[in-house]
Amino acid sequence: MIQPGDHKSYMQLALDQAKKSPPKPTNYRVGAVLVDLASNTVLATGYTLELEGNTHAEQCCFMKICEQNGGIPEEKLKEVLPPAVALYTTVEPCSKRLSGNLPCVERVVRLAGCIKTVYVGVMEPDKFVANNTGKKQLQDAGIEVVHVEGFEKEILEVATAGHEKK
């Protein structure tokens, strides 16, 4: 049981999720955890490519909660989420997707009001997405972005497993 406010333990849980993602040369392995702040309950976990399609970690969390609520569309997720939720993600939510899927930052912004804080292990490196605007978009929507320090080296090693080393 993780104690309320133990951001390092929640980030470690997100990192443990990222390690479940298959290493591929074209993907970054990311993990995410969605937490109800009032009850300190993990609502969902996710990792890159966990669910069918080219799914990202945050997207998998949201898809699981939709499924738990009768398969509601993701656009209605705000109706079933608790009023105070935190998202822990190993890498800052993406602001751009080449696959044509909705960027994760837009998915999170849709949930502004429910998601109060996004805790990130590393900010989006420029080599992943140059000039990522995710943090600003989240903050503009009233969502606090907090960097949980101390995981950067391991998160980047996990994220890039399967990539060709230069």
Active-site residue (options: 50, 58, 92, 124):
58
Q: For the chain, percent helix, then strand, then coil, each to nearest 5?
A: 30, 20, 50
Residue 42, token pair as written in the block: 């993990």
Question: Residue 119: beta bridge partners?
Answer: 88, 146
d(CA 32, CA 47): 6
Structure-token match 């990311």, residue found: 30
At 104, which amino acid appears?
A: C
67 is an active site residue: no
Positions marked active-site: 58
